[in-house]
Amino acid sequence: MDLMPLNARDDAAPTGAFALVIGAGPAGLMAAETLAAAGLRVTVAEAKPSVGRKFLMAGKSGLNLTQDMGLPDLLAAYGMAADWLAPSLRDFDAAAVQDWARGLGQAVFTGSSGRVFPVAMKASPLLRAWLLRLEGQGVTFQTRWRWTGLDAAGASFDTKDGPRRLHPDVTVLALGGASWARLGSDGAWLPGLRAQGVDTAAFRPANMGFAVDWSPHMAPHFGAPVKGVALQAGSAPVRAEFTVSARGVEGGGIYAVSAAIRDGAELTLDLFPDLHGDTLCARLAAQPKRETTTNRLRKALRLSGVRLALVHEFGRPLPQEADALARLLKALPLRHNGPRPLDEAISTAGGVMRIAVDDDLMLHARPGVFVAGEMLDWEAPTGGYLLTACFATGRRAGQGAAHYALRQP
């Protein structure tokens, strides 16, 4: 689409409905693909110099696209948001994500944990193939276009060439949440939508680490993985490892229970999830009384390294009685100073609330404007669930926008 000066109309545009997608992450690109397939002229506006930046970063250590599971198990991962996301995920579930990737020439495989990855592992081959297909569908891209407002007169942007305004028939907002601002998801859009009467919830970190003020003796263990433990925070124990860092604790195990901790649950560690407390007690009691508690832990239970260091960090003063020491090992309190900063979180909760949109993800306060991806107030665990729901809600918003546009006189 030709660039237009502020307040100018696109009178010379070809006939047919014009769709604007703001944000070029997975949700926005999926909305654009869906709109183009429905026959609309589509422009994607992106504030950054290039598209899909968070998507590319997520793929640096292996792009986890989805999980190899059926719809009931998939929905269960989204907790309280499951029924809200269900229509989107029924239409574009984990199997559909895999088929979509294969359709772009990217073979996928399922790891031992059930996580699905492209064979290439990285996000860049998939993104390149996707962009080529979108361009083949006639989708145009405008980068370095920062959205500044949306009203009845159109959508306004600050661009490298000065202010611009577009006049779409329908708009899909896919601006992301409020983490990883350097990649484009800064949440700066929330106050503007709230001012227009859109119901929004404040952002909260999701899938994040927690800050810990470590004692000096922990420094040699920074970067060490904590394996063979179970974490518990208000629900069933989670068997997963995590990492001790100079800033605190992070990694898969912590992320799995992070929402519960954020919401007030105490975090405890079971350092011996495969042994009953009575077994630990008996082994400890069998050690000579003259041994130090540390030696008893080492000899009776082969406890060493970072796991032993955590016992000293959070269990002081260590109990001498075998039964009390066994109870401590089965429920070691991990004290922390709260979540790491919002911008460090893998994702965020908060944003546009369920009551603010209809079943097609159109804003009640702004007919013709749809919302997708992390802008919506839901959260998901790591493991491909976040990407899957971004794809699915982007597709649903695109379908809703296409139907709305084609119904207009």
| pLDDT tens-digit series, residues 127-136 | 999 999 999 9
Residue 156 lies in a domain: yes
pLDDT at residue 22 greater than cutoff 50: yes
CA 68 – CA 90 distance, rounded (Å): 15
- Of 272, 306, 333, which residue constitutes the final position of a domain? 333
**What would the pLDDT profile of 101-115 be if each residue is shown by its tens digit?**
999 999 999 999 999
- Of 333, 364, 393, which residue constitutes the final position of a domain? 333
Instruction: Give the rounded percent of residues in the chain with a pLDDT score beyond 70.
Output: 96
pLDDT at residue 5 greater than cutoff 90: no
Residue 41 lies in a domain: yes
Residue 225 lies in a domain: yes
Report CA Rg, the chain. Answer: 25
Which among 387, 342, 351 is positioned nearest to 181, based on CA atoms? 342
CA 388 – CA 394 distance, rounded (Å): 10
Residue 6 pLDDT: 28
Residue 15 pLDDT: 45
Residue 213 pLDDT: 97
CA 48 – CA 407 distance, rounded (Å): 33
Residues in the chain: 409
**Mean confidence (pLDDT) of the chain:** 93
Same-domain pairing of 292 and 263: yes
Same-domain pairing of 59 and 139: yes
Residue 37 lies in a domain: yes
Same-domain pairing of 223 and 89: no
Residue 154 pLDDT: 87
- Of 280, 303, 333, which residue constitutes the final position of a domain? 333
Residue 2 pLDDT: 28
Judge residue 101's burial from the number of C-beta atoms within 10 Å of its C-beta, 0-12 exposed, 13-18 middle, 19 or more buried. buried
Residue 5 lies in a domain: no
Same-domain pairing of 185 and 133: yes
Same-domain pairing of 37 and 162: yes
Same-domain pairing of 175 and 106: yes
**What would the pLDDT profile of 59-102 be if each residue is shown by its tens digit?**
788 999 999 999 999 999 999 999 999 999 999 999 999 999 99
Residue 3 lies in a domain: no
3-state secondary structure of 398: helix
213-224 mean pLDDT? 97
Same-domain pairing of 298 and 401: no
Residue 311 pLDDT: 98
Residue 151 pLDDT: 85
User: Which CATH number characterizes residue 184's domain?
Assistant: 3.50.50.60
Least confident of 77-86, 229-238, 304-313, 359-368: 229-238
**What would the pLDDT profile of 303-354 be if each residue is shown by its tens digit?**
999 999 999 999 999 999 999 999 999 999 999 999 999 999 999 999 999 9
- Confidence band, pLDDT 50/70/90 cuts, at residue 3: very low
Instruction: Give the rounded percent of residues in the chain with a pLDDT score beyond 90.
Output: 90
Helices (H), 14-52: 26-37
pLDDT at residue 1 greater than cutoff 50: no
pLDDT at residue 214 greater than cutoff 90: yes
Per the structure, the count of domains in the chain is 2
Same-domain pairing of 320 and 353: no
Higher pLDDT, 298 or 59: 298
Domain that holds residue 284: 210-333
Same-domain pairing of 389 and 268: no
Same-domain pairing of 359 and 306: no
Q: For the chain, give percent helix, strand, coil, nearest 5.
A: 40, 20, 40
Residue 244 lies in a domain: yes
Residue 61 pLDDT: 81
Same-domain pairing of 296 and 157: no
Residue 362 lies in a domain: yes
CA 201 – CA 357 distance, rounded (Å): 13
3-state secondary structure of 363: strand
Same-domain pairing of 198 and 218: no
**What would the pLDDT profile of 148-192 be if each residue is shown by its tens digit?**
998 887 899 999 999 999 999 999 999 999 998 999 999 999 999
Higher pLDDT, 408 or 189: 189
